[in-house]
Structure 1
Amino acid sequence: MNDQLYDLESLRFPIGEFQKPDCITQGNLDTWITAIECFPFKIKELTKNLSVNEVNWIYRPNGWKIKQVVHHCADSHINSFVRFKLALTEDKPVIKPYEEHLWAELTDGLDDDLTASLQIIEGVHARWVLLLKSFGEQELKKQFIHPATNKTLCLEEVIGVYAWHCNHHLAHIEQALFYKGQF
């Protein structure tokens, strides 16, 4: 970036890290579900006119290219949707983690064409939001166990995490576009 100073942590977390409220309210849930619902439109709008050169821009030094961010969101949100369904149909299941940084390096994670991942995001989010909007108190309290952290997560919190995840990666794409990938 030509002698410009930047804070690597701010580039990594442009909207900050997820902060769980002490008490999750219906207002929080409504805001989070809306963020998840709007994500397919927002990511499509941000990326629809990008050239092959532009989808290869990175959002920070040693960060992913825009195309990897988009493909990652498809991968991550598929996994999250499945985790929600597991939590709804099993008693505190242990979910399967995955190596997202390695997935981003696979052929499909390096594809310059974003179409398939944008279609996956649109379809997964349509079904996910339908499911989320049907939740009552019982569903919101369902849990799963993440073996990487050995932490039990409640679905109401995970809704917030994924709303944050959507906005986090939209900010990464905006950042790559603002800096024109020049790190």
Structure 2
Amino acid sequence: MEELRYPIGKFEVPETITTEQIEEWITILEDLPGKLENLVKPLTKEQLETPYRPEGWTVRQMVHHVSDSHHHSYTRFKWAMTEDNPVIKPYFEKEWSNLFDARTAPIQMSLDHLKAVHAKLVYFLRGLSEKALQRKFTHPEGNTETTLAENIGRYAWHGSHHYAHIKNLVDRSGW
């Protein structure tokens, strides 16, 4: 079950985050919308309603979740650049994924949204200086500070993590 939940492992912040690592993460973010669309576009309605694991989200919910989550992340980057270590507003992702739109809306809406958000995000991230990458925001759960550099890695991991959920389901199911 743990392998189904974390197919690429849990995100671990590297001790040192290099410029090369940042660029690799940004490239992962840049490529995610197209990779995800190529993976899910051929799926049937029934396949989109399949949970990626027992008691997990459906493929449809996962696509909408990635779009919603990365939209939040984009906003968090902007807050950290315009405020001094802001306390971010968390959202209840499980509840969001159970809302009507996440359960029933066409995935194309979120695929298009993800393309737009990532285009803006990647452009923004590539313009950040090394000093800017050290700016922080605080998550109120656990009062944890996160640098923008760490958050780039976290969201590169997040997109890859959910992509792997869907890819593993597709492979296991022989789709």
Q: Is the shorter-chain TM-score for this pair beyond 0.5, marking a shared fold?
A: yes
Q: Which residue among 36, 45, 54 is the counterpart of 1:52?
A: 45
Q: Which residue of 2 aligns with 1:142?
A: 135
Q: Which residue of 1 aligns with 2:69?
A: 76
Superposed, 1:23-102 pairs within 5 Å as 23-102=16-95
Q: Is structure 2 residue 149 aligned with structure 1 residue 169? A: no
Q: Is structure 2 residue 114 aligned with structure 1 residue 124? A: no
The secondary structure found in structure 2 opposite 1:95 is: coil
The secondary structure found in structure 2 opposite 1:22 is: coil
Task: Give the deviation of 1:180 after TM superposition.
Answer: 2.8
Specify the code of the residue in structure 1 equivalent to 2:56.
Answer: G
Runs of 5+ in structure 1 lacking a partner? 1-7
The secondary structure found in structure 2 opposite 1:44 is: helix
- Which has the larger share of helix? 2
Q: Give the share of equivalent positions with the same residue, in percent.
A: 44
TM score, norm. by length of structure 1: 0.93
The count of residues paired between Structure 1 and Structure 2 equals 174
- The CA deviation string for residues 56-109 of structure 1, in whole angstroms up to 9 with x for no partner, is 111111111000110000100000000000000000100000000000000111
Q: Which residue of 2 aligns with 1:156?
A: 149
TM score, norm. by length of structure 2: 0.97
Distance, in Å, in 1 between the alignment partners of 2:71 and 2:157 is 16
Task: Give the deviation of 1:112 after TM superposition.
Answer: 5.0
Task: Give the deviation of 1:175 after TM superposition.
Answer: 1.7
Task: Give the deviation of 1:178 after TM superposition.
Answer: 2.1
Are the equivalent residues in 2 in contact too, given 1:52–1:112 (CA < 8 A)?
no
Distance, in Å, in 1 between the alignment partners of 2:17 and 2:110 is 31
Q: CA RMSD in A?
A: 1.1
Distance, in Å, in 2 between the alignment partners of 1:126 and 1:161 is 18
